[in-house]
Amino acid sequence: MSTFIWIILSIVFGLLYSLVHTLPGQSKSIFVDIFWFLFLFSGSIFIFRFLSYLITDVIFSKFKGKSSSDLLRFIIIFFLYTTFLALIFKYALGWNLTAFLTTSALLTAVVGFALQTTLGNLFAGVAIQIEQSFYIGDVVKINDTFGRVETLRWRSMSIRTFDGTLLVIPNNQISTETVEVFPSKEPVRVSMKFPIPTNISPEIISSLIRKVILATPNVYTELQPFIHIDSYDPRNGIIWYQVRYFVENYLVEHIVDAEVKERIWYVFNRHKINVSLSNIFEHDFVLPKTSSTNMPYPNISKETIKECVAKINEYVCFKNPEKIASKVNVYAYAKGEPILYTEKKHDAIYFIYKGIVKVRQQTPQSIDCMEKHTNIKTEYLEFWPSEILNNVNKQLTVHIGPISEHKVKEAARKTLDTRHLYSLLSNHILNEKHKTDFLSYAPDETFQFFLKDSWLNLADISESDAFSQGETILLEVPVSI
């Protein structure tokens, strides 16, 4: 029953008690005691639920910043029910609880012996809640098991491992094991080591790595990365660097670690910091004869670069295209990596040889008057992340039904801008209020997309943020020599 029904029942029983109590000759009737008990019982349940909500959902969440567990709710409700019922039986109804408890002592001993394992789990759960060493959402390690805490019940704890398996562990076992806790809202430190040739300045290495780490999503930026020289290996001509930084929580540690390492590879690639693979492995490790020990750079022939410069020359008119082609720099970027955030910007045109560059607009246009930048010859559906289209589809299905999936794909072929996508899809919603509700999901910012064989100038990059969408290769073509 909902809390509202218990309020109604308490009012009804209170009125019935008052009515029967005032009838002549009914003041000591059995019905008076029944209605009085029902009034106190229903009123107490309302009070129990209100106090439970106040303690678990308001006070606990405010001071702990976490949701309360089912076990904590059970303990609070059990304590409240027991206390209030004891008070009702003793003072309101005048029952002798001492005699009742005395006669039930033998029964309690028998039940306690039969349920000793269950009671052990219960009291272990109570101890876990009192200590509050971990909460729902935290990642814990018990023996060799890693997982996220999903529920804390009176008998057991449920852990969801990273491969999707649900483990139910008795509280009694948890109380006797060593539990390593990774709080869900606390930053976690990540460490890594890598070798760098001795001829590269430590200041350059530190600057590049720091920029990469701070630009990576889910990195805890309030604590600055710590980058230092760990050891020297003069025989191989390398210096080992130690890097420590923090991520927002343990759940994203492995994702961020992999992304940082990937971006470091691309940064070293762009700055021609060659880390030989043979330096990383043990000395007795033999590389296959067909493998290369050097980091590969984007392999673009001189003829291809000349062709790209020629495409730009049709609009820019270089004085000496041949000489400009010889001065072109090639930069490769990882998926989602900011453009030119670790490179010095020059007076140049940046030609997109591969991939897509997404440029955030500083002053987004109104979604109602957004200009269409659609190239009819190009279909953009393949460039859209599936999670974005799935989310838009769910929001649109509420208004137009199952046909929304087809409409989303149709609109995604015409644009790469999320706000423009919402604008196109809103035309299929006839109800103005529903249309407004749907458009409210559109992001506040808008983007301009530059595809393969298009180019950006320095103004495009300096006035807004630019990111690669998938692996992107840029050719830095100097405007003048």
Reported as a single tens digit per residue, the pLDDT across 106-160 is 555 554 444 455 555 565 666 666 556 677 888 888 887 888 888 877 677 788 8
- The verdict on 176 and 193 lying in the same domain is no
Phi-psi region of 446 (alpha: psi -120 to 50; beta: other; left: phi over 0): beta
- The verdict on 405 and 384 lying in the same domain is yes
Identify any residues that bridge with 229 across adjacent strands, giving them in sequence order. Answer: 241
112 lies in some domain:
no
- The verdict on 465 and 369 lying in the same domain is yes
Q: Which residues of 432-448 are buried (b: 16+ CB within 10 A; e: fewer)?
A: eeebeebbeebeeebbb
Strands (E), 267-347: 329-333
Q: Which of 62, 85, 103 marks a domain boundary?
A: 103
Q: What is the CATH classification number for the domain harbouring 367?
A: 2.60.120.10
CB contact at 8 A, 451 and 356: yes
Identify any residues that bridge with 179 across adjacent strands, giving them in sequence order. Answer: 142
Measured distance between the N- and C-terminal CA atoms of the chain, rounded to whole angstroms: 80
Q: Which of 451, 263, 298, 299 is nearest to 375 (CA)?
A: 451
Q: Which of 240, 228, 226 is nearest to 198 (CA)?
A: 240
- The verdict on 248 and 157 lying in the same domain is no
Give the pLDDT score at 285: 40
Domain count, the chain: 4
- The verdict on 349 and 249 lying in the same domain is no
Structural domain boundaries, residue 164: 133-182
pLDDT tens, position by position, 352-400? 999 888 887 755 544 443 333 333 345 677 778 788 889 999 999 999 9
For residue 115, what is the enclosing H or E element? none
CB contact at 8 A, 156 and 168: yes
Identify any residues that bridge with 58 across adjacent strands, giving them in sequence order. Answer: none
Q: Which of 142, 157, 182 marks a domain boundary?
A: 182
CB contact at 8 A, 307 and 280: no
Percentages of the chain per state (helix, strand, coil), in multiples of 5:
45, 20, 35
239 lies in some domain:
yes
Give the pLDDT score at 220: 93
Q: Which of 259, 262, 237, 234 is nearest to 247 (CA)?
A: 259
CB contact at 8 A, 297 and 368: no
Give the number of other CB atoms < 10 A from CB of residue 344.
Answer: 5
Give the pLDDT score at 123: 57
Q: What is the CATH classification number for the domain harbouring 233?
A: 3.30.70.100
Give the pLDDT score at 169: 80
Give the pLDDT score at 370: 39
- The separation between CA 301 and the C-alpha centre of its own chain, rounded to angstroms, equals 42
Q: Which residues contact 168 (CB under 8 A, 6 or more apart)?
A: 156, 157, 158
- With H, G, I as helix, E, B as strand and everything else as coil, classify residue 475: strand
Give the pLDDT score at 428: 92
110 lies in some domain:
no
How far apart are alpha carbons 151 and 68 in whole angstroms?
A: 10
Q: Which of 336, 328, 321, 270 is nearest to 298 (CA)?
A: 270
- The verdict on 371 and 439 lying in the same domain is yes
- The verdict on 12 and 141 lying in the same domain is no
- The verdict on 339 and 403 lying in the same domain is yes
269 lies in some domain:
yes
296 lies in some domain:
no
- The verdict on 264 and 364 lying in the same domain is no
113 lies in some domain:
no
- The verdict on 165 and 192 lying in the same domain is no
149 lies in some domain:
yes
Q: What is the CATH classification number for the domain harbouring 173?
A: 2.30.30.60
90 lies in some domain:
yes
How far apart are alpha carbons 47 and 154 in whole angstroms?
A: 23
Q: Which residues contact 93 (CB under 8 A, 6 or more apart)?
A: 33, 36, 37
Identify any residues that bridge with 159 across adjacent strands, giving them in sequence order. Answer: 149, 167
Q: Which residues contact 300 (CB under 8 A, 6 or more apart)?
A: 330, 353, 473, 475
Q: Which of 206, 211, 215 is nearest to 465 (CA)?
A: 215
Count the alpha carbons within 13 Å of 170 in the hemisphere toward its beta carbon: 10
For residue 327, what is the enclosing H or E element? none
pLDDT tens, position by position, 66-84? 566 666 666 677 777 777 7
- The verdict on 363 and 442 lying in the same domain is yes
Residues of the chain with pLDDT under 50: 1, 111-115, 277-293, 365-377
- The verdict on 164 and 235 lying in the same domain is no
